[in-house]
Amino acid sequence: MQITQRKNALVFGGASGIGWATSQTLLDQGAQVTIADLRRPTEPGRLRYIACDVRDANQVCEAVKKAIERGPLDWLVYSAGIQHYGSVVDTPIEEYDFVQQVNARGAFLACRSAIPAMTRGGAIVLVSSVQALACQEGVAAYAASKGTLEALTRAMAVDHAKDRIRVNAVLPGTVDTPMVRSSAERFGGRDGLEQTLEQWGGNHLLGRVAHASEIARVIAFLLSDAASFMTGASYRVDGGLLSQLPVRL
Ligand code: BMA
């Protein structure tokens, strides 16, 4: 009988949204999961949690150390992300730096600490966005940070295939997460939040926003051995959002 090793996973930004849903999916599949996040999850349950500001290289390193207390790391997910609005001209420099630090530089730090800990090989998934490929107005900093994740995914896949580490990215469309809800509140007001989400959902071919678990399942697949020939690529999980040209006959 073949004994399969219990997978050891670390999820940055795992306390809410796509990161939380991914942590739950991985737990359900029998993995050991550590989450690193600024905030403690509301129901930590079976998870191991470490407080971590992804802007701080030492804290990121400590998170990896915590995850490998019981053995090498197999799976890394980077799902920490924030969205600020503005064009290049009206984005304050500090805000641009902040978004880059959380969304992109944090991924670099996480992978930098985690890859040497993946001593039996492994898989990494970075949570990017469709906005890395096509974007709406006023998301200059966010779109740039997500584009960075795309390039980082390829660079790491190239460098670490020899270490038996696969690296992929997912590009979600609009997902029902605290981040997107706070955007919807900003544009639709507290009372119009649900209506705004519904309207944004209508932009997708499937006519709705995604549930975080729908992204999590794809991330779990990309991490798993079922995806053993997949590396260096990005996968849209966007309900068809980018498939449609805004051209009417
Ligand atoms: C996500 C976020 C959402 C947006 C979606 C689709 O990454 O930017 O606010 O609705 O992309 O553009």
Report pLDDT digits (tens) over 118-130. 999 999 999 999 9
**Ligand 1 center–CA 173 separation, angstroms:** 6
Q: How far apart are CA 84 and CA 2, in angstroms?
A: 48
Residues with a CB atom less than 6 Å from ligand 1: 83, 129-131, 136, 173-174, 180, 183, 200
Query: In the prediction, which pLDDT does 97 show?
Result: 98
Average pLDDT for runs of 10 along the chain of length 249: 81 98 97 96 88 98 96 98 97 98 98 98 98 97 98 98 98 98 92 94 97 98 98 98 92
Residues 225 and 30 sit within 8 Å (Cβ to Cβ)? no
Query: In the prediction, which pLDDT does 3 show?
Result: 61
CA-wise closest residue to 115 among 147, 161, 58, 69: 161
Could you give the domains of the chain? 8-173+212-237 (3.40.50.720), 175-208 (no CATH)
**Ligand 1 center–CA 174 separation, angstroms:** 5
What DSSP assignment string belongs to 98-134? HHHIIIIIHHHHHHHHHGGG-BTBEEEEEE--GGGTS
Q: What is the pTM of this model?
A: 0.97
Query: In the prediction, which pLDDT does 222 show?
Result: 98
List of E strands, the chain: 8-12, 32-37, 48-51, 75-78, 122-127, 165-172, 175-176, 210-211, 233-237
List the beta bridge partners of residue 49. Answer: 35
**Ligand 1 center–CA 219 separation, angstroms:** 18
Query: In the prediction, which pLDDT does 1 show?
Result: 56
- Residue 142 annotated in active site: yes
Query: In the prediction, which pLDDT does 146 show?
Result: 98
What residue's CA is closest to ligand 1, atom 3? 174
